[in-house]
Amino acid sequence: MADKKSELDVESAKEESSASVVQYDSSGPVTEAEKALRWKQDKRIVPLSAGIYFLCYLDRSNIGNAKIMNASTGHDLLTETGMTNFQYTISLMVFLVAYGLFEVPSNILLKKLRPSRWIAFLMLAWGALTVALGGVRTYAAVTAVRFLLGVFEAGLFPGLVYYLTFWYRAEERSIRVAFILASATLAGAFGGAIAYAIGHMDGAGGLSAWRWLFVIEGIPSCLSALLVWLLLPDYPEGAAWLTTPERELAVRRLRVEGSKGHHKAMTWADAKATLVDWRLWGHYVVYFGISTPFSSLSLFTPSITAGLGYHDLQAQLMTVPPYAVAYVVQILTSWSADHFNARGLHSAALATIGAVGFLASAVLPEDAYASRYGCLIVAASGAFACIPPLLGWLSSNIFSTASVGLAIALNIGLGGAPGQIVGVWIYKADEAKLGYPTGHWTNAALLFMVAVGCVMLRVYYALRNRKIIRGATDGEEVRLFKY
């Protein structure tokens, strides 16, 4: 099957470029015209995409702050809805079930309906649902709204990763994915600060502060949907804000390594070839491993800091430093991974660092609050920073427009969603006084698995490239896999 897939990859590359067999050395020099074009694209695409994901992450993770907000006075989410800790975990899980089920359909609709229209619709829907959470009164209502929130947020992140393949070459994507994903770490940092401020609104207008949290953080997503509809560019071929020479250059530079807006939607043959390509399943397994720490930190960092001697609003404020440091590490790691064309090894290294942070948290004494807080910062930095290179690595090693959208959606749907479901269960409420050892041990083990998986994939791609080169005739050009 591997040999057949290699042939399919080369054949796909042939069709993309109109050359006999494609060799594309993306590490070659970039012209000044390309640099100018890329910067023009960046100014239009990256801040807008990062802002969209910032709002998305803020709206999906604020339930963690609502759980502990003013808990000492009984004005928190669990007390006012009558939820138990087990029911709260169920409400987190149903979000991720929906998240996993709707990844693939959403990416298909993104291509069919155009990115700007589909993403704007998703934003309006999840913003309205977040506001609706401010009015829930029962466990059933919380669970139902969280499920619908998962349906509409499911398509955003894989959709944005897919969207970048229409605009950027393989070696340009990880750093841009990092800026988008790093907005989640900013949302985590700002989310704690915002929750700290809103926590002082308890009782304002007759509403508890946690209800104001959902309302205030949901409204910006609704209002921003119109801006996304109007401002987010769809494909280079139709970008009116580019000159004719710039549009031609944008299309030409992506003739091999980019997706094409004018290409037809995925066929069953495309889907089957993607589903049976076992090397992609290696990526999915690795992404499962990183998704559990990502999910658990996203939802339980306020609870973890509350178990480190901080209480109520102070615990929310102390969630800011781990996310702030993770943001910087994420950007630097992704830039280095693209610059040195070594995405697998960078992800392996950062996963190992994150694993060590969790491992130390698990073995330190329960009352070593300062040391364990430092370990939380290390763990968060490593866990978040290895994700963008992984996604850039996957998208750069899929050679057709039809396959890349499906593979990215499967990576996050089959790998990411199950991993995130595991993440909602590992930080047990009855282990708060013990320092949450189950959660830390689980995350450490999975991050070590991520590191090993990345190294194995790196070795595999090196062997595949050697085989491709040996099979090429003299003067024949071929496209090789990225590391």
- pLDDT single digits (tens) 137-170: 999 999 999 999 999 998 898 889 889 888 988 7
pLDDT > 50? residue 444: yes
Average pLDDT of the chain to the nearest whole number: 85
Residue 20 covered by a domain? no
Q: What is the DSSP string of 232-274?
A: ----GGG-TTS-HHHHHHHHHTTTTTS--TTSPPPPHHHHHHH
- For residues 199-214, average pLDDT: 91
Question: What per-residue confidence (pLDDT) applies to 70?
Answer: 83
CB atoms within 10 A of CB 369: 16
Residue 64 covered by a domain? yes
CB of 396 closer than 8 Å to CB of 482: yes
Question: What per-residue confidence (pLDDT) applies to 28?
Answer: 54
Task: Residue 387: name the closest of 78, 53, 140 by CA.
Answer: 53
Residue 325 covered by a domain? yes
Residue 263 covered by a domain? yes
Residue 329 covered by a domain? yes
* End-to-end Cα distance, the chain: 21
Q: What is the DSSP string of 309-372?
A: T--HHHHHHTTHHHHHHHHHHHHHHHHHHHHTT-HHHHHHHHHHHHHHHHHHHHHS-TT-HHHH
Question: pLDDT tens, 35-67?
Answer: 999 999 999 999 999 999 999 989 988 898 898
Locate tokens 């070594």: which residue?
A: 342
Residue 28 covered by a domain? no
Domain range spanning residue 102? 40-471
- For residues 461-467, average pLDDT: 92
**What's the CA gap between 210 and 316, in Å, rounded?**
13
Question: pLDDT tens, 229-282?
Answer: 999 999 998 889 999 999 999 888 887 665 555 555 556 777 787 888 889 999
pLDDT > 90? residue 329: yes
pLDDT > 90? residue 173: no
Q: What is the DSSP letter of 172?
A: G
Question: What per-residue confidence (pLDDT) applies to 187?
Answer: 82
Question: pLDDT tens, 331-387?
Answer: 999 899 988 889 999 999 999 999 999 999 999 998 888 899 999 999 999 999 999
Single-letter residue type at 133: L
The enclosing domain of 113 has a CATH number of: 1.20.1250.20
pTM flag (> 0.85): no
Residue 269 covered by a domain? yes
Question: What per-residue confidence (pLDDT) applies to 267?
Answer: 66
Both tokens of residue 474?
A: 């003299």
Both tokens of residue 97?
A: 């079930």
pLDDT > 90? residue 118: yes
Question: pLDDT tens, 99-112?
Answer: 888 888 888 888 78
Question: What per-residue confidence (pLDDT) applies to 21?
Answer: 40
* Domains contained in the chain, number: 1
Residue 33 covered by a domain? no
